[in-house]
Amino acid sequence: MKYYAHIAILACLLPCTCTAYELIGTATLSETLVAQHYTINPLLDAVIVVDRTIPSFEYQTFYCAGFADEDEGEQGRLHFLEHIMIDRGSYEPGELKQIIADNGGQSHAATYHHFTRFTLRFPKDKFDLAVEIDRNIYYNTIIDEEVVEKEKKIVLTERSQRLTRPERRSENYFYGFIYGKKNFNGIGAETFIQQLEPVGLKNYYENFLREQKRLIVIIGDVDIDHVLTKLDEAYGNDIAPVKVYAPQSPDRDVLGKRLKRSSNNLNFTIFRKGWYIPNLGHRDYAGLLIVERLLEKPSNSLRASLVDSRLAKSFSVSVRSYKGFGLMTCYAELPHNTSRNTIQDMIHVALANLKSISDAELNAARNQKLNTLYSAFYNRSSMATSFGGAFAHAGDPLLYPKLIQDLKSIRPEDIPPIIDQYLKDDNSFTHSLTEIEQKQPSARKPRTFGHYAGIVSVLVGWLTLLGGIVALFVWKIKKSQRKTWTTSPAFQKVMLNEKIFNPDI
């Protein structure tokens, strides 16, 4: 009986003492760094990497919604909210920044295509404060008239500053085609920003942004148990149901198309060619990273031949993941006299050549990519963003370190099928931003005998006409003089005399 009583007491206490978080994966990054992935509640995951190199920590929170997830004509709301949240939370104006500064911290926020990121950076003993601020921003951000009007001025200044850059405009056109949005712009249109009001923004904050899945990434000099305890206290009891938002699918209708726009004040043509590729997590993604490197290495590559021959001012290739899909993009800045078809042809040739890649070439490209991936371990902020991107785009933050293993397993024979499957014209689209063409006066044609004969005939015609007019004029004058004479008394007298003596008149 006593035994059962103990079990009953334990059963009563258990819900109060047990924690909600759960370890769901680990990944070894390097000799000293290990990433641990936890769920804190159904809407919140966390990745923790202990790094004691310096006595501070990076705390980044990712909300899985970005400006590409916003509806056409309503882009810019998330970016606007991001400004308000990091500036204010529920504190008095300026107070949050002051608290962060007083505690030796730093803060930053940014909105990407598919996630919104808030960064806090503090000395190691300020972890509790970081959680408190993060919680405050998540639950209690005040969105009132005062803060909205203030942020409008700042966001409009940011907007006007950015859009003067042609690279930015070209990027917006390019992604507009991918997402099927006519006016793709993460900051939003000026008129849209002007009309934002607190009620709508508050609604968006509560019923859209806060319903997104979140990931908190903590990298630094922290104690894992303490981190988990604090996250559990802050968020462990939040059991809001998960709402599933359909991922943005890229527009397939643009495939095979070559689009062009014109703009003023362009010193060069901006050329972008994109291919849809699988997302992070697919093994081919690592193979495509190898292709990327081979196309843009400093010598014996497409980039080297384009830049060295001055067909392009600059050329780069990128492989990136987005929500539910991936994209490989060639970007070039071309002098106005370089034909875009030439670039297309050179890309075809370069890709065809890569199908006969040697072991040595593959190893070199792999080593370079590993160098790039390892380099991020020196930079907590970029490492955290890689975890956040993998979570927002593919649902698993540990797909980012898994990429290292995938890269190590790629062989030369994997590359030709990857090129054949993804990097073909009917799976690509091209966008160019060129200078507005000035209408030139048509070139003068060389004159023939017929031209000269025509000119002479016209001239003769004109002279004849002129002669006729002059003759007519003279005749008219003479006629008028005659008329004057015939009506004069002298004429009447003569006439009378002539009539009398000349009966023919």
Partner 1 sequence: MKRFLILIFSFILLGPLSAFAEIPNHHIFYRTDKRAPLTRTEIVFLGAGTGADSPSQIGLAQTVRKLIWKTAKKQGHIDQLEALGTHLTLTTSETYQAISIYGLSENSGKAIEIVRDLIYNLAFSEYDLKYVKSQLSADYKNEIKRPTYTLIKNLALSQTLGVTKTRSLKTLNDLSLQDIGQYADRLLKTDVVFFKVLSDRDSSEIANLLRPLTEERKMRGQTGGFVHSLNLPSTNAKVGPTAFIFEGYSHLKNVFCRWMIPCGRTGEENYIPNMISDTLGRSPESRLLYKYFRGELKLVYGTSSRYLSEQNARYIEIYADPQLHNSEELITKMFDFIQNLPDNPRFWETLKEERETNDISFVHARTPQQRLNRAVSRAIYKSPRRKGGSDAVTDDEVRAFLEKFFVPQNMIMIFLGPKDRITEILNTHLPKVDIRVHNVKELIE
Span of 54-62, 195-203, 222-230, 445-453 interacting with partner 1 by CB under 8 A: 54-62
Segment lying near partner 1 (by CB under 8 A), choices 96-104, 279-287, 461-469, 485-493: 96-104
- 306 to 335, contacts with partner 1 by CB under 8 A? 310, 313
Report whether 182 contacts 251 (CB < 8 A): no
Name the minimum Å distance from CB 363 to partner 1: 7
Strand pairing class (214-220; 44-50): parallel
Smallest gap from Cβ 383 to partner 1, in A, equals 9
Unique residue bearing structure tokens 């998330």: 78
In the bound complex, what is the minimum distance in angstroms from residue 381's beta carbon to partner 1? 10
Alpha-carbon distance 135 to 61, whole Å? Answer: 10
For tokens 């505690």, the residue is: 103
Dist. CA 411–CA 417, nearest whole Å: 12
Q: What binding mask, one character per residue, do residues 237-276 give for partner 1 by CB under 8 A, x or -?
A: ---------------------------xx-x---------
> Is 31 among the residues that bind partner 1 (CB under 8 A)?
yes
Binding residues for partner 1 restricted to 123-142, rule: CB under 8 A: 123-124
Give CA–CA dist 244/64, Å, rounded: 11
- For partner 1, the closer of residues 297 and 424 by Cβ is 297
Residue 364 as a binder of partner 1 (CB under 8 A): the answer is yes
Among 28, 98, 464, 492, binds partner 1 (CB under 8 A): 98
* Number of CB atoms found within 10 A of residue 325's CB: 17
Contact between 412 and partner 1 by CB under 8 A: the answer reads no
Secondary structure (H, E, C), 88-118: CCCCCCCHHHHHHHHCCCEEEEEECCCCEEE
Q: Which of residues 164-203 bind partner 1 (CB under 8 A)?
A: 164
Query: Cα(193)–Cα(155) distance, rounded to whole angstroms?
Result: 8
Residues 273-292 that bind partner 1 (CB under 8 A): none
Q: How many angstroms separate the CA atoms of 267 and 26, rounded?
A: 49
- Residue 214: both structure tokens together: 């979140």
- The reply on whether position 53 binds partner 1 by CB under 8 A is yes
> What is the total count of residues that contact partner 1 (CB under 8 A)?
57
CB 215 within 8 A of CB 390: no
Q: Is 411 in the site for partner 1 (CB under 8 A)?
A: no
- Produce one character per residue of 248-260: b if its CB has 16 or more CB atoms within 10 Å, e if not: bebeeebbeeeee
Residue 152 Cβ, how far from partner 1 at the closest point, in Å?
A: 9
* Smallest gap from residue 101 Cβ to partner 1 (A): 4
Pair of tokens at residue 177 = 């085609």
CA distance 431 to 256: 11
Least distance between partner 1 and beta carbon 389 (Å): 19
Among residues 129, 156, 189, 259, the one that binds partner 1 under rule CB under 8 A: 156
Output the CA torsion 260→333→175→274 (10° steps).
Answer: 90
Q: How far is the CB of 249 from partner 1 (least distance, A)?
A: 33
**CB closer to partner 1 out of 99 and 255:** 99
Asked if 34 interacts with partner 1 (CB under 8 A), we say: no
Smallest distance from partner 1 to CB 223, Å: 17
CB 161 to partner 1: min, Å: 5
Answer yes or no whether residue 110 interacts with partner 1 by CB under 8 A: no
Q: Which of 39, 103, 229, 427 touches partner 1 (CB under 8 A)?
A: 103
**Smallest gap, in angstroms, from Cβ of residue 55 to partner 1?**
6
Q: What is the dihedral of CA 300, 303, 308, 311, to 10 degrees?
A: 140
DSSP 339-361: -HHHHHHHHHHHHHHHTT--HHH
Distance CA 374, CA 28 (A): 12
Residues binding partner 1 (CB under 8 A): 30-33, 51, 53-56, 93-94, 97-98, 100-107, 121, 123-124, 150, 153-158, 160-161, 163-164, 264-265, 267, 297-300, 304, 310, 313, 360, 363-364, 366-368, 370-371, 374-375, 377-378
